Structure 1
Amino acid sequence: MKNNILSLLAVALLLTTTSCTIDVREDNDQPVNTGGGTSTTVSVLDGTGNLGGEISKDLLIKKGNYTLTGIVKVQPNVTLTIEPGANFTASTTDVSGLVVLKGGKINAVGTAELPIVFTSDKKTPGDWGGITLYGNAPIKAVNGAPTALSEDGNNQYYGGDDANSSSGTMKFVRVEFGGRKIGDGSSETNSMTFYAVGAGTTLENLVSYKGTDDGYEFFGGTVSAKNLVSYGNYDDAFDWQDSWSGQFNTNWFAYQTQVGNFGMEIESSSNVDNTAPKISNITLIRGAGTNPESAGSNEISAIQFKKQGSGIFSNVYVDGYKNIGTQKAYAVLIQDAGTETSQLVPGKIKVTPVFATANNDNVLQYGYSFNTTNPLTYVNNAAVKKVVLNSGAWATVNGVDLLAALK
């Protein structure tokens, strides 16, 4: 009898110390093979459930349909694993979002035909807060600060000292209708946001679809990304600051439609000393009739550099960036004299080869928003072709192939 009582106490202690605060319909502790020949016991969502609150224990989510409620936070030293074919519908009753905190990891690996999809119940832009990852890589915020407070309402300090840190893996993941403001109601979120995310993180075959802020935004860090699709996002398709310095980026595609600002908005938080990120194969297309968020805004160019922003871009294809009223659109716009002097002239801004089709205005010279008597020019290279990405369920929404403009 004494041995039975001790056994029951041991089981109770195990359940207490390994519990997590997720709110699910099914939260079964199951042995799961980790790929290394051994098994570990994690919580499992098996086909249905509600995901909410803080995830404080490793969690495996299997293929199925789930509801995401409120701001779900993956805690440090915890891994959230999501299998192909898992679909999450964010509730708009609450302000919802998925946040992986510094030290936590996401392992969301879908396939081209079984992507992992995050959408919303109302299917309208800005319904929920999207996905945010925090890492431990270096940043340079304003005045070169190595840390800064996030602007997403989560009140997290970001910035670290491990350039190769990993926040996990995301492959074949689609985020729809993100960009909702969270926290104080005015803080910005994007469809996908990366705070100080390190180069050990894998970002591949991702889609940001019709969010009300940026498709992707990098706040410092060293992570690189390939096969990115930004479709119909209201602000900028791609955006970064705080001296993001990813070196191995390739195949970025933006299609701006109805509402959209810059194809790419690039800054380094006014830090002259920065490492220019590198991106090969970029296609930026602005659909006919697309207007900036604010009437009369000059945020209508394909690529904008400001506040010491830098970047080395090769094979850049630009189409559809046309003047609106008195506002001029350019393939490349330099916003301030300091950025020209300290980044463009020394060669830390390079956009070559580039091809701006006849369906663009102000072709063959860099644009400026300040006075200059000698605008720099670029050579238009018709040999540059659109990015090549393979269609599939990962880039299809309601039967619409998001990659059709690349054909």
Structure 2
Amino acid sequence: MKTKFFALALATGLFLNSCSSSDDPTPAPQPATGEITGPITANKTYALGNYTLKGIVKINEGVTVTFEAGSTITIDKATGDNALVVLKGAKLITKGTADKPVVFTEKSKVPGSWGGIIMYGDAPVKVAGGGSTSTSEDGNNTSYGGTNPTHNGGSLVYTRVEYAGSKLADGQKENNGFTFYSVGSGTTLDHLVAYKGADDGFEFFGGTVSMTNAISYGNYDDSFDWQDGWQGQANTNWYAYQVDKGNYGMEIEASSNNNAFFPKVTNITLKRAAGTVTEEQKEIQLDAIQFKKEGNGDYSNIVIDGYVSQTSPTAFNGGVLQILDKVTYDHQVAGGKIKLNNVKITNSPITFISGQATFTLSAASFVPATNWSTSTTATGATLTPGAWATVDGVNLIK
């Protein structure tokens, strides 16, 4: 009897073990693949995958396009002009994470190989001549500017754009890693990387959007640039590293309109590697921060390093802060609308540079004294490393 009971128990156990093995998790799904072309006329979610983007892909008004975390979108400059364009009224959502960013890259890994991400909105702008609208210079010849400060163009989170800066069609200049035309404050821009583009890392043409936790690395023109009355108020943790080629760390202008827009950025790091030359190697563009054409704003907790004179092919006077024109000096500096506080300066022997002989720029120019202050304890941008900020094994914020 006992023998039969043992045999039955043994058989039952084997059966149970056999059942449990069938409950093992199924293998993880393989990343999706596919080609992305435009225009995109209906809502679309791209699952985790490896995609190719071909052509100037426009997301139409009323359409939302989503990319899941960890997706890689590859462009090939051999196919012609390529860019991802978010038209006014459309939304782009990238659901990247620190470990699984959404990455837009280019096959050849050559700066200037595609047009990057371009977004349009209908937030207010103030363009040259004081107008409230203008036409884009990106080759799309699209009108921008409006009356909706809370425009929402989507959510770009933990997203990297590599090797952008291509001139598209009959555009007047190269494009950037990220280009924002009259984008509004309802849009989320957080943990973004513009890597080795042939123009600016990030450029704002008016609008009210703010950007947090941003890296501009190895871009040939300016790391951060804006015009047309951009007035973002909640910007923080901007990190720029200029290497090989680069112009300004930050180029700040307001399209020659005296204004009180006063954009605000806290926690800024601007670094320039030794031996870095200007984009064209002939322009005096070695300054960490340049204000021109009525640009202004409030900037604090800033670290500036490595902006020194270069000797090839012509000696350039690199420095920390340049006011290019006397109008900007008279209206913005003397008017108390440029504030830079808690500034830590290293390896940058020239602090103030006047763009014209008609005025002298110095610490005394910033009256009251609270408009300019230096510090030895400023921390600049505080960012957490991870896959989102690593390219080809290199930590961009080491």
TM-score, length of structure 1 as denominator length: 0.86
CA contact (8 A) 2:174 2:198 kept: no
- Measure the CA separation in 2 of the matches of 1:169 and 1:373: 44
CA contact (8 A) 2:119 2:181 kept: yes
For the pair 1:334 / 2:319, whether they are aligned, the reply is: no
Q: Which residue of 2 aligns with 1:222?
A: 208
Q: Which residue of 1 aligns with 2:120?
A: 134
Q: Deviations over 1:104-159 (max 9, x none)?
A: 00111200000000001111101111000001100000111100000000010000
1:322 to 1:262, Cα distance in 2 relative to 1, 3 A? same
CA contact (8 A) 2:137 2:171 kept: no
> Share of identical aligned residues, percent?
48
Q: Which residue of 2 aligns with 1:399?
A: 393
1:90 to 1:272, Cα distance in 2 relative to 1, 3 A? same
CA contact (8 A) 1:308 1:339 kept: yes
Residue 252 (structure 1) aligned to one of 238, 247, 261: 238
Residue 354 (structure 1) aligned to one of 321, 343, 360: 343
Q: Which residue of 2 aligns with 1:54?
A: 39
1:260 to 1:340, Cα distance in 2 relative to 1, 3 A? same
Displacement of 1:186: 4.7
- Measure the CA separation in 2 of the matches of 1:374 and 1:153: 39
Q: Where does 1:66-77 land on structure 2 (aligned, <5 Å)?
A: 66-77=51-62
- Measure the CA separation in 2 of the matches of 1:51 and 1:129: 15
Q: Where does 1:7-406 land on structure 2 (aligned, <5 Å)?
A: 47-92=32-77, 93-184=79-170, 186-325=172-311, 326-357=315-346, 359-363=347-351, 366-372=352-358, 374-377=360-363, 378-404=372-398
CA contact (8 A) 1:153 1:188 kept: no
Q: Which residue of 1 aligns with 2:9?
A: none
- Measure the CA separation in 1 of the matches of 2:82 and 2:192: 20
- Measure the CA separation in 2 of the matches of 1:379 and 1:114: 39
- Measure the CA separation in 2 of the matches of 1:386 and 1:83: 31
AA aligned opposite 2:55: G
Secondary structure of 1:67's counterpart equals strand
AA aligned opposite 2:341: T
Which deviates further from its counterpart, 89-98 or 369-378?
369-378
Secondary structure of 1:352's counterpart equals strand
CA contact (8 A) 1:86 1:116 kept: yes
- Measure the CA separation in 1 of the matches of 2:281 and 2:109: 25
- Measure the CA separation in 2 of the matches of 1:81 and 1:375: 48
Q: Deviations over 1:243-274 (max 9, x none)?
A: 00000000000000000000011100000024
Which deviates further from its counterpart, 375-384 or 61-70?
375-384
Q: Deviations over 1:25-61 (max 9, x none)?
A: xxxxxxxxxxxxxxxxxxxxx7110001200000000
Displacement of 1:376: 2.2
AA aligned opposite 2:262: A
Displacement of 1:320: 0.2
Q: Which has the larger radius of gyration?
A: 2
Q: Gapped runs of 5+ residues in structure 2? A: 1-30, 364-371
Displacement of 1:369: 1.2
CA contact (8 A) 1:268 1:274 kept: no
AA aligned opposite 2:141: N
- Measure the CA separation in 2 of the matches of 1:200 and 1:386: 26
Displacement of 1:295: 2.0
- Measure the CA separation in 2 of the matches of 1:376 and 1:253: 26
Secondary structure of 1:138's counterpart equals coil
Secondary structure of 1:227's counterpart equals strand
CA contact (8 A) 1:318 1:355 kept: yes
- Measure the CA separation in 1 of the matches of 2:258 and 2:129: 10
Displacement of 1:373: 5.6
Displacement of 1:361: 2.1
AA aligned opposite 1:63: L
CA contact (8 A) 1:62 1:83 kept: yes
- Measure the CA separation in 1 of the matches of 2:170 and 2:350: 41
Q: Deviations over 1:344-381 (max 9, x none)?
A: 11221111111111x11213xx2111125643215431
Secondary structure of 1:143's counterpart equals helix
- Measure the CA separation in 1 of the matches of 2:63 and 2:360: 55
Which deviates further from its counterpart, 49-58 or 368-377?
368-377
